[in-house]
Amino acid sequence: MYKNKQVLLAKRPVGEPGDDCFTFQEVDIPELAENQILIKVCWLSLDPYMRGRMNDVKSYAAPTAIGDVMPGESTGIVVKSTSPDFAVGDRVAAHMGWQTYIVANADDPRIMKVDLANGTLSAHLGVVGMPGRTAYFGLTELGKPKPGETLVVAAASGPVGATVGQIAKIKGLRAVGIAGGAEKCRYVKEDLKFDACIDYKAGNLAAELAQACPNGIDIYFENVGGDVTRAVAPLLNPGSRAPICGYVSNYNDEDITKAETPFHILGAARNVPEHRFFVVTEFRDRWVEATRLLGSWVSDGKLKYKECIGEGIENAPELFRGLLKGRNFGKQLVKIADED
């Protein structure tokens, strides 16, 4: 009999989510009904948006209820199936939370088959998965890039920011990254081939950003908010665009409803950019198209990525706290089980 380990939301955090915000439980896995599959989870993705789901505030998605499984996406292997559409051994991605096994209806829209021709099982949680698709659609559909323009992206060593900058280079733009620490900036500039990368922790962000963008900023891809956005705003050109993916610097605020968000900062800029918040589900009908394109760029060596791997679902809360503080270097994953 399989046992499923789950991580539940125990209480709503005030500021950083402590251990008391999470609880663990182990449950039996029921027999499959008709047209269901059992997935053994191999990789769990940790992403900043999960912090917002822990709050009971109005957002683009309903908050996680106390006692519910923490939200999140994972990839794994079908180990049982009563569905003609899935065979044992199929690789899948499932947006069904922090748990080690998943029972799902085969027609659940949160389930997506994984084609390993597009990348590894773990990469389908990163560069060719949700973060990669977020970067692709946010940049191409909202950023509307044109060759020769200057793009700035914060959290440039993370899975979204790194992909944004590399796609910008593929499309002929000047790419300037902002990251935390010399090691991350070296990686962004030397390995990912951005034109420049500024260490926001060094204390000269505004001056160094102005130097790196002598012709101003045409596209600002927003991941961070706060001081980074305040440094970007004066450099925005007329007609600039700013896709807003998130603003992680505010996610641990005790009351995020009182935060000065990118909407406030960008809206007060001398040259107000075309800007709005977006989520990747807006483009769900084009996910396969994007994953294949991103996978081809990875195969061709045009798109590089880095993974930051922790072990064991019991360590997910601490790894999640580290993610929110920028301790991760690359896509934060939790290895749950071997791929066999």
- Contacting residues for 266 by C-beta, under 8 A, at least 6 apart: 220, 222, 229, 233, 236, 242, 272, 273, 275
Predicted pLDDT at 52: 85
Predicted pLDDT at 58: 72
Q: In CATH, what class is 130-281? A: alpha beta
Q: What is the CATH number of domain 3-126+306-335?
A: 3.90.180.10
pTM: 0.91
Predicted pLDDT at 57: 77
Helices 159-170/287-299 angle, 10° precision: 70
Sketch the domain layout of the chain as residue ranges.
3-126+306-335, 130-281
Q: Could you tell me where the beta strands, DSSP code E, fall in the chain?
A: 3-9, 22-28, 36-45, 74-81, 91-94, 101-105, 111-113, 150-154, 174-179, 196-199, 217-221, 236-244, 274-277, 307-311, 331-335
Q: Is 333 helix (H, G, I), strand (E, B) or coil?
A: strand
- Contacting residues for 85 by C-beta, under 8 A, at least 6 apart: 106, 107
Query: From CA 340, how far away is CA 331, in angstroms rounded?
Result: 22
Average confidence (pLDDT) per 10 residues, the chain, 340 residues: 91 93 96 97 95 81 91 97 98 98 97 97 98 98 98 95 98 97 97 97 95 98 93 98 86 68 93 96 96 98 97 97 91 96
Query: From CA 274, how far away is CA 330, in angstroms rounded?
Result: 29
Predicted pLDDT at 1: 60
